[in-house]
Structure formats: C-alpha cells, structure tokens
Amino acid sequence: MQKDLTDWTKTFFGDNYLKLHLPILSDELNKEEVDFIINILKPQKGSKFLDIPCGYGRHSKLLVEKGMQVTGIDNNSTFIEIAKENCKDAKFILEDMRKINFYNDFDFIINLFTSFGYFSDEENFDVIKRFAKALKKGGKLLIETINREWALKQTSTNGLTWLLYPSGMVFLANNKYDIITGRWTSEQYVVDNNKISEQEQNVRLYTYTEYKMMFSQVGLKIIEVYGEKDLSPYTCNSNKIILVAEKI
C-alpha cells in the first residue's frame, strides 16, 4: 500500500505546534503579514477572502478587522475551534483543502506559510483547480512557500539546523531535498523539558515554471512574483517564492 504523503501532518500539527509557534507568531508579526496581504492584493472593504488553510485564524481575524468578509478552512479541529473562539465574525469550516467545492465565490484566496504541496502532484494540481474554480473572474490567488531553488542550495551544503525557541523548547532538523521527486523533507526533533518528540515535514516544492504551467491550465495567470514580504525580487537565493495569480 502506498504511503499517505500527509501522514506527517498528524504529528507536525500536533501538541508541539502551538507551543513552538505561538511565541514567535506574535501580534506584531501577524499585523505585518496582514498589512503585506492588503498591500499586495489591494482589496476593497467587503471583499470576500478564502484563507486556506487558516490554522488558528491569525490572519483571518485581522482581515475581518480591516472590513473583509472571511471564510477560513483548515482540517485541524483544534485550530478551527481556536479560530472560532478568537474571531466571531469570520466563517470557519473544518475541511480538507482537497475537498472544497466553491464556484465564483471569492475575490481573493490566500495560501501562506508553505501550506501548498502537501499532497501528490495530481492532488496538488486538483487543489489549484479548486482554488481557480472558487475565485471570481479577476479574483486573485496569493501563495507563499519555501523557494525550491533556495532549498536545493541550502540542503546541498548543510541541511542541519537548530533553534532555541522563546518557550525554552529546542528544535533540531535535518533537511533534505530530493531532486527527483521535488520534495523537501525535514526530519525534526523537539526537546521540551528533557522530553524528545519526533516529527517530519514532507512538502512538494514547485519551480516558478511549474507554477506557471499549472496555473495556465486552470485559467490563472501569474501577475506578480517576489522573494520576500518586503517585495524584494525573486531570485535563486530567495528563501521564499511569493506568487500572485489572477483568474482570467
């Protein structure tokens, strides 16, 4: 039986995720990221946003405060419950992004924090088709992920990283990039009060050209590309690829 490529998400988005990330995903950082979203997409008040996956709603909440209509979707029930508690004026749905079924409903879709590429190539392409179907004509899709070119360069020299988080937790990772499959894998260990937990990331990273080809097949056209949220140019050395595509 073929291994489910999303098995890693069960532990990665488990008990350690919020303990690790809440201290660093500060209110200030969240505000900066939403200001970036507004700056790059330039929505009018009342615009309809699909935040997918929305996690615990850190962007959704601030977009609502800026006058947007927001639907947040995530397949993690804990995150959805937190999002509902923190933001009563957005609509949050527990759902797998592979199963969404909207039609011409949204002005904007945001997919951030390397949240695309979890699945097989066929499933990832189907997700893009569903995104395109969900957008109104002229609507825009914003995707931000790890840059494949940077990942290839980074792992070819030294894929080992470690971080000490504000909570006192220690994070260790061995990152690899498979040039044949195009998948970034990260074997990770989290040390918390002398207890060691293991987790993994396994994400398909796409090149700009691959995104362009996928988008063109579903009626999306790339209109902007950046290497960072400060709108710096996208290069091989950018650790991110940020794409804005319009439904034509």
**Among 50, 64, 57, 104, residue whose Cα is nearest residue 80:** 57
Q: Each residue of 148-173: pLDDT tens digit? A: 999 999 898 878 888 888 778 899 99
Locate all alpha helices (DSSP H) within 49-135, ordered by sequence: 58-65, 77-86, 121-134
CATH assignment of the domain containing 34: 3.40.50.150
Q: Each residue of 110-148: pLDDT tens digit? A: 999 999 999 999 999 999 999 999 999 999 999 999 999
Domain identity same for 138 and 27:
yes
Domain identity same for 59 and 114:
yes
DSSP one-letter string for 49-69: EEESS-TTSHHHHHHHHTT-E
Domain identity same for 186 and 214:
no
Domain identity same for 82 and 101:
yes
Residue 2 belongs to a domain? no
Domain hosting residue 157, numbered range: 150-201
Domain identity same for 137 and 44:
yes
pLDDT of residue 15: 84
182 SS3 class? coil
Give the count of domains, the chain: 2
pLDDT of residue 23: 86
pLDDT of residue 1: 47
Query: What stretches in the chain show pLDDT beneath 70?
Result: 1-3
* Helix (H) or strand (E) run with residue 211 in it: helix 208-217
Domain identity same for 111 and 230:
yes
CB 214 within 8 A of CB 222: no
Residue 1 belongs to a domain? no
